[in-house]
Structure 1
Amino acid sequence: MPIQIRHSVIHGFTKEAGEPVAHVDKKDRLLDNTLPSVFSLVQGMVTLLGKKESSQVWGRFGNNGREGPFPGRFAGYIDDVSSVEGFLALSHLAVDEISRTAEAQQASTGGHILCATYDDDAGNTRVIVAMIKQRSGLQLDDNLVPINIVEIDMSKLHQAAQIRVGEFRQTIELQAEQHDDEGEEQADVTYLSFVAKRADRGSSAYFINALGCEVGVSSTKATTRLYKAVDAFFRENEELNPYLRNAKDALSAFLRQEADAQRLVTMDALQDVMDRVVRPEHAHLVREMTQTLNGDRFKVPDGFLVSETVLRKHTKVVLEGARLTLKFDRGMLGTDRNAELFFDEDNRALTIQNLSNEMMGRLQQTLNDG
Structure 2
Amino acid sequence: MDLKFLAIRELIKEADDSLATISEKGGAIDVEDPMAQQLFNALVSAYGKRSALTHGSFNEENSEGYPFIAGFKKFIDSTPDDATFLSLCDQALAQLAASLQQPSARSATGGYVIFMYYSSDVFDYLLIGLVRDKSGVAFDQDLNPTKVIEVDLEKLHQAAKINITTYKEGSDSYLSFIGSRRKGDITHYFSNALGCTDVVPSKKSTSDLIRASEDFCRHYHLEEKQDEIVEDVVSYLSRQREDKQSAYLPDVAQIFDNHLPPEQAEQATGTFSKFANSENYQVSQEFQPHTSTINSYTKVKAKMDNWQLDFAKRSLGNPNSNSEIEFDPQTNSLRINRLSTKVIEQLKQALNVDD
Query: Does the residue aligned with 2:115 lie in a helix, a strand or coil?
Result: strand
The 3 A distance-change label for structure 1 pair 28 and 149 is closer
> With structure 2 as the length reference, what TM-score do the two structures score?
0.54
Q: Could you tell me how far apart the structure 1 residues matched to 2:230 and 2:41 are?
A: 27
Q: Could you tell me how far apart the structure 2 residues matched to 1:221 and 1:97 are?
A: 31
Q: Could you tell me how far apart the structure 1 residues matched to 2:302 and 2:118 are?
A: 40
2:173 paired with 1:190: yes
% identical equivalent positions: 23
Query: What CA deviation, in whole Å up to 9, does each residue of 1:39-93 have, x standing for no partner?
Result: 2222211112242x44210101012326511112111111235322111100111
Residue pair 1:54, 1:196 contacting (<8 A) in 2 also: no
Q: Could you tell me how far apart the structure 2 residues matched to 1:199 and 1:236 are?
A: 28
Gaps of 5+ in 2: 138-147, 214-228, 240-254, 257-279, 281-288, 304-339, 346-355
Residue pair 1:13, 1:21 contacting (<8 A) in 2 also: no
Query: Does the residue aligned with 2:36 lie in a helix, a strand or coil?
Result: helix
1:46-195 equivalence runs, <5 A: 46-51=44-49, 53-65=50-62, 67-80=65-78, 82-104=80-102, 105-120=105-120, 122-136=121-135, 152-154=153-155, 157-171=156-170, 189-195=172-178
Paired position in structure 1 for 2:195 = 212
Paired position in structure 1 for 2:300 = 277
Paired position in structure 2 for 1:24 = 22
Q: Give 1:200 deviation, angstroms.
A: 6.4
Q: Could you tell me how far apart the structure 2 residues matched to 1:234 and 1:216 are?
A: 25
Query: Does the residue aligned with 2:14 lie in a helix, a strand or coil?
Result: coil
Q: Could you tell me how far apart the structure 2 residues matched to 1:90 and 1:208 are?
A: 16
Q: Give 1:215 deviation, angstroms.
A: 4.0
Counterpart amino acid of residue 159 in structure 1:
Q
Q: Could you tell me how far apart the structure 1 residues matched to 2:39 and 2:136 are?
A: 11
Query: What CA deviation, in whole Å up to 9, does each residue of 1:318-365 have, x standing for no partner?
Result: 999x9xxxxxxxxxxxxxxxxxxxxxxxxxxxxxxxxxxxxxxxxxxx
Q: Could you tell me how far apart the structure 2 residues matched to 1:216 and 1:24 are?
A: 27
Q: Could you tell me how far apart the structure 1 residues matched to 2:190 and 2:164 are?
A: 20
Q: Could you tell me how far apart the structure 2 residues matched to 1:236 and 1:201 are?
A: 24
Q: Could you tell me how far apart the structure 2 residues matched to 1:203 and 1:190 are?
A: 16
Query: Does the residue aligned with 1:21 lie in a helix, a strand or coil?
Result: coil
> With structure 1 as the length reference, what TM-score do the two structures score?
0.52
Paired position in structure 2 for 1:142 = none
Q: Could you tell me how far apart the structure 2 residues matched to 1:49 and 1:169 are?
A: 23
Q: Could you tell me how far apart the structure 2 residues matched to 1:318 and 1:92 are?
A: 66
Q: Give 1:197 deviation, angstroms.
A: 5.5
Q: Could you tell me how far apart the structure 1 residues matched to 2:54 and 2:135 are?
A: 28
Q: Could you tell me how far apart the structure 1 residues matched to 2:237 and 2:194 are?
A: 37
Counterpart amino acid of residue 296 in structure 2:
V
Residue pair 1:108, 1:203 contacting (<8 A) in 2 also: no
Q: Give 1:234 deviation, angstroms.
A: 2.9
The 3 A distance-change label for structure 1 pair 217 and 13 is closer
Query: Does the residue aligned with 2:61 lie in a helix, a strand or coil?
Result: coil
Q: Give 1:270 deviation, angstroms.
A: 1.4
Paired position in structure 1 for 2:317 = none
Q: Give 1:152 deviation, angstroms.
A: 3.4
The 3 A distance-change label for structure 1 pair 16 and 237 is closer
The 3 A distance-change label for structure 1 pair 202 and 167 is closer
Q: Give 1:123 deviation, angstroms.
A: 3.6
Counterpart amino acid of residue 272 in structure 1:
N
Q: Could you tell me how far apart the structure 2 residues matched to 1:33 and 1:229 are?
A: 45
Range 12-21 or range 97-106, more displaced:
12-21
Equivalent pairs counted in the alignment come to 232
1:249-260 equivalence runs, <5 A: none
Query: Does the residue aligned with 1:136 lie in a helix, a strand or coil?
Result: strand
Residue pair 1:12, 1:24 contacting (<8 A) in 2 also: yes
Paired position in structure 2 for 1:223 = 208
Q: Could you tell me how far apart the structure 1 residues matched to 2:5 and 2:341 are?
A: 58
Query: Does the residue aligned with 1:49 lie in a helix, a strand or coil?
Result: helix
Q: Give 1:148 deviation, angstroms.
A: 9.9
Paired position in structure 1 for 2:37 = 39
Question: Counting strand residues as a fraction of each chain, which structure ranks higher?
Answer: 2
Gaps of 5+ in 1: 139-146, 172-186, 239-243, 246-258, 260-265, 281-316, 323-370
The 3 A distance-change label for structure 1 pair 235 and 270 is closer
The 3 A distance-change label for structure 1 pair 27 and 119 is farther
What root-mean-square deviation, in Å, do the aligned CA atoms of Structure 1 and Structure 2 show?
Answer: 4.3
Residue pair 1:12, 1:113 contacting (<8 A) in 2 also: yes
Residue pair 1:26, 1:92 contacting (<8 A) in 2 also: no
